[in-house]
């Protein structure tokens, strides 16, 4: 629709892509065009945008949009679609129990959507089988935070980057994956020449260009690297004994374990290790940023705790310019965590295993049931779909047929599932094409609600275009279905502000149990206040708003002290063999997002890198008989992909890299998650997307 009445109207909203959570000013014109600028008043970006954010206006055309519900590929009305979904879910639950159904949701959902999905599954259906694609993104950080701090709390904030004297980036290509944070870091470094940056990554990336030191450690050896650092902290008398004695448990055991570390597994020279250790130990103001290279690992939670140990031992946490900072991939991974959008947690950072927490949530919702055990995490959930244990699946706002590890197996599982619902903007995603029912959902330019970014800042995402066709908001769709299942009063929400008020009120439970996620100060916001809500860091209570955590030594564990964990190095689970000798690393490119369902719509974004590729070291290329721009066949027991060869020493010999975005639709060859083995971290359930093993050969057509 031509938004003639919106000519010249500017809306203050938030970018739909990464976890930096930049503020955006979106202006519509009478021709239906949308131009975007960075919001100078948003604390995350202070007016900046990256290539993806600045192209948001190019990705919102209605071409290909799903405008009506479809049942078995035939357009229908909402009444029939909702009734069918409700009946099939009710019948499945009645026959096979609540754990026979599942929701697979997304870090792209707004917090209000996430809240309703979690309430419906855990409080009314009575199962915790709701998991999210954020499981693939930051579950190891959640687990590490909970083990160390007693709650999933990010201690610091983005401005710490600018106040630090040393910034260590671990497993993070910040330049491409969190570009505005990278811009802030680069500007800070330019302004303060004494500031140092270290990049820890097996691969040399665009981020390495900014670094004073690039440590190309062996894939998966981060625990050994940081255990070595803990030993150096002790040996160089840099332990903050007052802080440790007063506020930290487990120091001695962690150090004993660290002393047993064999730092040679990092593959780094002793001189470069010592230079890094001396720099870290000798610099008081250190920020350690970590991302998917840490989290997407079968030892991800241990890697996180190895990093946290070093900050706890030195008391360098929660103070200006000091602390660990986990940066999430998705725009609302943090918001999902707040409302319990993971299978192993309740809303408001409460524990599903804790009977008192369960009772409090049960009473707050006044619900017929409450899930009493963790549900299935993403990999286990799709395994259960494949085994026929999950018989009704609802996928919201995500594309697991492309993005899940062992994606061919996931595709077969969804294909074989008795009943599949997909709510999305498009009916032609690889996953939506397999659904029995497809429900049209609103997208970025139309959605209305809140998101929380990686530094705990809650921002409004505001719709500025009308919903196309019959598309509805995700929270509305779920309320429609919940009402049709018989739970009318509990899901009688009429606006996102009503949902927001309920979960803000619920967060007071978190405070009652001494937990951190308390935004009960917003429980009574009026509609007008909600509309004009300014970006605000949590907690938001009557007595406190925002700020850093833990500098005062107050933690959320049972003892009130932080836990240092004794962690030891475990190699990646896939071991190179004669049949699959190359370590296969995956990641993102600068200008595309996830499975490209939106960014592929911008010709400008596709100019940067137009097709999937495989980075191969020159020595390996020679051995394999591959020249630049040849096609290579990459394969293992799970799948096969054809990729254009990029010969580069950015990767080490024996290692290769491919970006994760391309789908079966945009290229018959680029679906690289078919090759990722579904090995998971035993604590977090996060898959090891950075270290599968593959065979490589020149591609021969036919």
- Smallest distance, ligand SF4 to C-beta of residue 320, A: 23
Give the contact letters, 405-434, x = binds to ligand SF4 (CB under 6 A), - = no. Answer: ------------------------------
d(CA 701, CA 676): 24
Q: Is position 18 an interface residue for ligand SF4 (rule: CB under 6 A)?
A: yes
Interacting residues with ligand SF4 between 476 and 495 (CB under 6 A): none
Q: Is position 21 an interface residue for ligand SF4 (rule: CB under 6 A)?
A: yes
d(CA 196, CA 276): 11
Interacting residues with ligand SF4 between 165 and 184 (CB under 6 A): 178-180
- Smallest distance, ligand SF4 to C-beta of residue 55, A: 9
d(CA 679, CA 692): 9
Interacting residues with ligand SF4 between 583 and 642 (CB under 6 A): none
Question: Strand ranges (DSSP E) for 416-473?
Answer: 419-424, 437-440, 449-452, 457-461
Q: Is position 289 an interface residue for ligand SF4 (rule: CB under 6 A)?
A: no
> Residue 563: which of 353, 316, 309 has the closest Cα?
309
Q: Which residues, 6+ apart, have CB-to-CB distance to 245 below 8 Å?
A: none
Q: Which one among 42, 52, 473, 594 touches ligand SF4, defined by CB under 6 A?
A: 52
Q: Candidates 2-10, 17-25, 95-103, 378-386 — which segment interacts with ligand SF4 by CB under 6 A?
A: 17-25
Q: Which residues, 6+ apart, have CB-to-CB distance to 279 below 8 Å?
A: 166, 196, 198, 213
Give the neighbor-by-neighbor strand order of the sheet with 70-71: 74-75, 70-71, 437-440, 419-424, 392-396, 101-105, 130-132
Backbone φ and ψ of 192, nearest 5° = -130, 85
Which of 106, 510 has the CB closer to ligand SF4? 106
Q: Candidates 49-57, 393-401, 478-486, 616-624 — which segment interacts with ligand SF4 by CB under 6 A?
A: 49-57
d(CA 242, CA 584): 44
Q: Candidates 14-22, 210-218, 370-378, 538-546 — which segment interacts with ligand SF4 by CB under 6 A?
A: 14-22
Which of 22, 421 has the CB closer to ligand SF4? 22
Q: Is position 460 an interface residue for ligand SF4 (rule: CB under 6 A)?
A: no
Which of 34, 692 has the CB closer to ligand SF4? 34
Q: What is the end-to-end Cα distance of the chain in Å, rounded?
A: 46
Interacting residues with ligand SF4 between 179 and 208 (CB under 6 A): 179-180
Give the neighbor-by-neighbor strand order of the sheet with 34-38: 10-14, 23-28, 34-38
- The burial of 4, by beta-carbon neighbours within 10 Å (0-12 exposed, 13-18 middle, 19 or more buried), is given as exposed
Which of 117, 180 has the CB closer to ligand SF4? 180
Which of 18, 683 has the CB closer to ligand SF4? 18
What sections of 97-221 are H helices per DSSP? Answer: 111-118, 139-149, 159-163, 174-177, 179-191
d(CA 148, CA 667): 43
- Smallest distance, ligand SF4 to C-beta of residue 289, A: 14
Longest dimension (CA), the chain: 70
CB-nearest residue to ligand SF4? 53
DSSP 520-565: GGGTT--HHHHHTPPPEESPB-SS-B----STTS--SSSSSSEE--
Q: Which residues, 6+ apart, have CB-to-CB distance to 550 below 8 Å?
A: 149, 153, 155, 317, 318, 323, 562
Q: Is position 137 an interface residue for ligand SF4 (rule: CB under 6 A)?
A: no
- Smallest distance, ligand SF4 to C-beta of residue 37, A: 11
- Smallest distance, ligand SF4 to C-beta of residue 570, A: 32
Helix (H, G, I), strand (E, B) or coil at 634: strand
Which of 175, 381 has the CB closer to ligand SF4? 175
Give the contact letters, 261-280, x = binds to ligand SF4 (CB under 6 A), - = no. Answer: --------------------
Q: Candidates 46-54, 119-127, 345-353, 550-558 — which segment interacts with ligand SF4 by CB under 6 A?
A: 46-54
Q: Is position 50 an interface residue for ligand SF4 (rule: CB under 6 A)?
A: yes
Residue count at the site for ligand SF4 (CB under 6 A)? 14
- Smallest distance, ligand SF4 to C-beta of residue 8, A: 23
Q: Is position 496 an interface residue for ligand SF4 (rule: CB under 6 A)?
A: no
Q: What is the 3-state secondary structure (H, E, C) of 404-424?
A: CCCHHHHHHHHHHCCEEEEEE
Which of 174, 675 has the CB closer to ligand SF4? 174
Which of 28, 453 has the CB closer to ligand SF4? 453
Q: Is position 444 an interface residue for ligand SF4 (rule: CB under 6 A)?
A: no
Q: Is position 45 an interface residue for ligand SF4 (rule: CB under 6 A)?
A: yes
Which of 20, 522 has the CB closer to ligand SF4? 20
Which of 334, 551 has the CB closer to ligand SF4? 334
Q: Which one among 6, 20, 233, 322 touches ligand SF4, defined by CB under 6 A?
A: 20
Q: Candidates 48-56, 244-252, 349-357, 422-430 — which segment interacts with ligand SF4 by CB under 6 A?
A: 48-56
> Residue 195 half-sphere exposure, CB side, CA atoms within 13 Å?
24
| Number of C-beta neighbours around residue 163 at 10 A | 17
The two structure tokens encoding residue 274: 């010592």
| Number of C-beta neighbours around residue 66 at 10 A | 24
- Smallest distance, ligand SF4 to C-beta of residue 17, A: 3
Q: Is position 12 an interface residue for ligand SF4 (rule: CB under 6 A)?
A: no
Give the neighbor-by-neighbor strand order of the sheet with 213-215: 213-215, 196-200, 166-170, 286-290, 323-326
> Residue 170 half-sphere exposure, CB side, CA atoms within 13 Å?
30
Which of 85, 589 has the CB closer to ligand SF4? 589
> Residue 396 half-sphere exposure, CB side, CA atoms within 13 Å?
28
Bridge pairing between strands 286-290 and 323-326: parallel
Q: Is position 49 an interface residue for ligand SF4 (rule: CB under 6 A)?
A: yes
- Smallest distance, ligand SF4 to C-beta of residue 295, A: 17
Which of 50, 695 has the CB closer to ligand SF4? 50
Q: Is position 15 an interface residue for ligand SF4 (rule: CB under 6 A)?
A: yes
Q: Which one among 17, 280, 444, 657 touches ligand SF4, defined by CB under 6 A?
A: 17
The two structure tokens encoding residue 260: 């047993």
Q: Candidates 43-51, 105-113, 152-160, 367-375 — which segment interacts with ligand SF4 by CB under 6 A?
A: 43-51
- Smallest distance, ligand SF4 to C-beta of residue 629, A: 29
Which of 49, 465 has the CB closer to ligand SF4? 49
Q: Do residues 660 and 672 lie in contact, with contact meaning Cβ atoms separated by under 8 Å?
A: yes
Bridge pairing between strands 613-616 and 640-647: parallel
- Smallest distance, ligand SF4 to C-beta of residue 593, A: 7
Bridge pairing between strands 23-28 and 34-38: antiparallel
Bridge pairing between strands 655-659 and 582-587: parallel
- Smallest distance, ligand SF4 to C-beta of residue 671, A: 23
Which of 59, 663 has the CB closer to ligand SF4? 59
- Smallest distance, ligand SF4 to C-beta of residue 663, A: 19
Q: Do residues 124 and 368 lie in contact, with contact meaning Cβ atoms separated by under 8 Å?
A: yes
Q: Is position 535 an interface residue for ligand SF4 (rule: CB under 6 A)?
A: no
- Smallest distance, ligand SF4 to C-beta of residue 676, A: 23
Which residues here bind ligand SF4, judged by CB under 6 A?
Answer: 15, 17-18, 20-22, 45, 49-50, 52-53, 178-180
């Amino acid at each position: 629709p031509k938004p003639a009445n919106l000519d010249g109207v500017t809306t203050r909203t938030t970018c739909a892509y990464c976890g930096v959570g930049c503020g955006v000013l979106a202006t519509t014109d009478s021709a239906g065009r949308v131009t975007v600028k960075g919001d100078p008043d948003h604390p995350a970006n202070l007016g900046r945008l990256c290539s993806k954010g600045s192209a948001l206006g190019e990705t919102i055309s209605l071409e290909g949009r799903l405008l009506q519900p479809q049942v078995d590929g035939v357009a229908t009305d909402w009444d029939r679609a909702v009734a069918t979904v409700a009946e099939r879910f009710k019948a499945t639950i009645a026959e096979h129990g609540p754990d026979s159904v599942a929701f697979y949701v997304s870090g792209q959902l707004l917090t209000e959507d996430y809240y309703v999905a979690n309430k419906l599954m855990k409080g009314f259906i009575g199962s915790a089988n709701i998991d999210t694609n954020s499981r693939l993104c930051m579950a190891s950080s959640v687990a590490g935070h909970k083990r160390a701090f007693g709650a999933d709390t990010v201690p610091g904030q983005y401005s710490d980057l600018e106040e630090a004297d040393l910034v260590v980036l671990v497993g993070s290509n910040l330049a491409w994956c969190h570009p505005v944070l990278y811009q802030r870091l680069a500007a800070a470094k330019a302004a303060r020449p004494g500031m140092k940056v270290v990049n820890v990554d097996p691969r040399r990336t665009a981020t390495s260009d900014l670094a004073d030191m690039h440590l190309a450690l062996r894939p998966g050896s981060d625990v050994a690297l940081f255990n070595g650092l803990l030993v150096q902290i002790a040996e160089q008398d840099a332990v903050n004994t007052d802080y440790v004695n007063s506020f930290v448990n487990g120091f001695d055991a962690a150090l004993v374990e660290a002393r047993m570390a064999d730092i040679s597994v990092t593959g780094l020279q002793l001189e470069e290790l010592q230079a890094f250790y001396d720099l870290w130990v000798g610099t008081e103001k250190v920020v350690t940023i970590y991302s998917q290279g840490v989290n997407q690992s079968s030892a991800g939670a241990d890697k996180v705790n190895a990093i946290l140990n070093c900050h706890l031992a030195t008391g360098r946490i929660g103070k200006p310019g000091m602390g660990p900072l986990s940066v999430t991939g998705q725009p609302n991974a943090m918001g999902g965590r707040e409302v319990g959008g993971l299978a192993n947690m309740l809303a408001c950072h409460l524990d599903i295993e804790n009977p008192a927490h369960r009772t409090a949530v049960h009473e707050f919702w006044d619900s017929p049931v409450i899930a009493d055990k963790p549900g299935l995490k993403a990999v286990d959930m799709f395994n259960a779909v494949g085994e026929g244990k999950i018989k009704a699946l609802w996928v919201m706002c995500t594309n697991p047929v492309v993005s899940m590890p062992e994606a061919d197996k996931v595709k077969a599982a969804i294909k074989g599932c008795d009943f599949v619902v997909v709510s999305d903007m498009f009916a032609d995603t690889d996953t939506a094409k397999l659904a029995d029912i497809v429900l049209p959902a609103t997208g970025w330019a139309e959605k209305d609600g809140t998101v929380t970014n990686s530094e705990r800042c809650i921002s409004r995402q505001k719709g500025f275009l009308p919903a196309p066709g019959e598309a509805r908001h995700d929270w509305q769709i779920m309320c429609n279905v919940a009402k049709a299942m018989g739970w009318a009063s509990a899901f009688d929400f009429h606006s996102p502000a009503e949902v927001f008020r309920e979960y803000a009120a619920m967060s007071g439970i978190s405070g009652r149990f001494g937990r951190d996620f308390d935004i009960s100060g917003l429980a009574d916001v009026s509609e007008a206040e909600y509309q004009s809500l300014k970006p605000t860091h949590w907690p938001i209570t009557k007595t406190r708003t925002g700020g850093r955590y833990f500098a005062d030594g107050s933690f959320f564990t049972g003892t009130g002290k932080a836990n240092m964990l004794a962690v030891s190095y475990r190699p990646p689970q896939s071991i190179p063999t004669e049949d699959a000798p190359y370590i296969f690393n995956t990641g993102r490119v600068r200008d595309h997002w996830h499975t490209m369902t939106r960014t592929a719509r911008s010709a400008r974004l596709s100019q940067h890198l137009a097709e999937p590729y495989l980075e191969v070291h020159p020595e390996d290329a020679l051995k394999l008989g591959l020249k630049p721009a040849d096609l290579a066949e990459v394969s293992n027991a799970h799948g096969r992909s054809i990729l254009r060869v990029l010969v580069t020493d950015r990767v080490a010999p024996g290692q290769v890299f491919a970006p994760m975005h391309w789908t079966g639709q945009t290229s018959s060859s680029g679906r690289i998650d078919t090759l990722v083995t579904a090995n998971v971290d035993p604590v977090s359930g996060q898959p090891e997307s950075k270290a599968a093993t593959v065979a490589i050969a020149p591609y021969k057509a036919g």
